[in-house]
Amino acid sequence: MSIKDHNLAMLNAREDWTNWINSIEDLAVRNDVWNYCDPEGIENLVFTATKPSDSASKDTIQKYHSLQAIYESEKKKYDKVSDRIDLTVCQEFKQHYLGIHDVRGKLIALADSIQPTAKDQKQNVRTEFESLKKGPGNTSLDKWLSRWPALVSNAKRYKIENLSESQICDAFIEASREVNPPFYNYMKSKEAQVENEKNLIKEAAKAMEKISNAFLTALNEINPDHASNGSITVASSADSEEDENDQNDDATIVQKAQNTTNRALRAFRKLNPTLSEKKITIGFCIRQFRTMAPPKENATRGRAAHATFQDRKHGNGWDSQNEESQPQQKRQRTQPSSSSTNPQQCKDGHQPSCPIESHHCSQREQEASDKHRKELQEKQDQPT
């Protein structure tokens, strides 16, 4: 089986670096040996136990063999990572770690030689984003879907501006318009619902702010002794969100009421409705996409072929009368040769039209022949 069949990440160009190093790290982590491979680490995989002498105690010898078994097990896992590097790095790039045999040394040498700069990596992420936005194209649907989570991960890793997960999700939904219309329509209707809820919260907050301001103004005028020391206007969303202290002895009753109202309004404005009361993530979008995806092309073709066969059988080019005639034709082929399409003529010149008539003709011929022989025999028996 080839490397392509295993779907391994290859390092054939600088643009492959991010996906490739991620695959190497993932393999090392799964085998619990990344601490020996991490280019930024210092821990090495070495066997430091001293072999005990023949006169050592049984426990000492057993402990040594246990440590040796643990080391050999970890060494096998470590060698898997080293072999994966040699297997997936192109011949041109292998020269960068020529003479280096440990995993950490290989990764450091490759990073120093071909790892893209931070600027290059950010540009690669943006290029990938623009490519995915265009839809699957000639790429398989599964592969296209699998690239979106990697895009989100890399955008977070390199802290790319104006490319948050929510923005990537929006782009994913737009890119699905032609590929999966049911999913696109569903997500768009949900987005409209969420937007309406957000607008409703904003409008409700403004109304509550006006009502609160009216009450505070009235309280200040009714009882000036308890009037607010500062502004009587409730803090808006643009004001500082620093909490006021209700327990301040210098605060008046109206001031405390104003502080409580401010906190309540700020909490209300922070309400952020989302789809199904969940945070929209790329994982959620992809799961929903797969749930609502149309049938695969091969299944569609299978159903179309079946339908075509049925059409031919019942209406188009398939005669039910022909279907009924098939057993008859088979039975006719099994009849004796006398029932063939070109039957032989009887001696009396009679042309049989069916197998029964043919049988009668043969019987008459036999009787005539027997009668003729009998007459000849009688003539021979007469005395001369």
Pairwise CA distance, residues 364 & 355, whole Å: 15
Pairwise CA distance, residues 357 & 12, whole Å: 87
The whole-model pTM stands at 0.47
User: CB-based burial of residue 354 (10 Å sphere; 0-12 exposed, 13-18 middle, 19+ buried)?
Assistant: exposed
pLDDT at 283: 92
Low-confidence ranges of the chain (pLDDT < 70): 1-6, 191-197, 224-251, 271-279, 296-365, 379-384
Reading the block at residue 112, the tokens are 């120093």
Among 91, 107, 95, which residue's Cα sits nearest to residue 27? Answer: 107
pLDDT at 51: 92
Among 344, 351, 346, which residue's Cα sits nearest to residue 365? Answer: 346
Query: Do 97 and 109 contact (CB within 8 A), yes or no?
Result: yes
Beta bridge partners of 89: 11
pLDDT at 214: 77
Among 179, 180, 155, 183, which residue's Cα sits nearest to residue 167? Answer: 155
